[in-house]
Amino acid sequence: MYLLDAFLEGQFRHYGPAVISSALTSTNAPKGGFTNPLLQQQVNPMARLFPKLAKCTLHTFGPGGSSQTHDALCVLPLNVVNEKIFVFLWFWLVFLAIAGALALFYRVTVLSQPWARRILLRASARGLSNATITSLQLNHFLGFGDWFVLRRLAADPLILRALADALAKAKTGDLDTAA
């Protein structure tokens, strides 16, 4: 987003809100020719950033072979497409930034908070009873790596149940040594 902002000379950062604001004020304008003079002075941010007309200087050769310059108005039809693409890019990058921040918050919470790991394991391990999960005392007995392996094993509830029962027995000292 910062590279696009630098490429568009600092106008990309506020491009999305400006487009929304412009669209809302233009649709709320009264019909019938009586408009607010302040609204008439507003410039569409898409037209300001991507103009559709520009002054061109054309260099041609005259009948005597000398160079002649002509000033003209050039139509820039690709800017109609560019303004739509950059509006989409702005909203897409904002969506990705929000999704990335939420994913980072989730990861930090899971890494640092044992209660979050316990809740996630209970949600994914439907085959385990609450007594088994409580007997493991996940917040003291299992670290993050152990929790991660158990969470991967939760895809197969039968294996997870057998492993959790064995871990609970090993912790309480009830493990049968003859087996």
pLDDT of residue 94: 93
Judged on CB neighbours under 10 Å (0-12, 13-18, 19+), 45 is buried
For residue 30, is it left (φ>0), alpha (ψ between -120 and 50) or beta? beta
Angle between helix 114-124 and 78-112 (nearest 10): 100
Summarised one tens digit per residue, pLDDT across range 17-76 is 888 888 888 655 555 544 555 555 567 777 788 888 889 898 888 888 888 888 888 888
Instruction: Delimit the domains of the chain by residue range.
Output: 2-110, 113-172
Gap between the Cα atoms of 96 and 90, Å rounded = 10
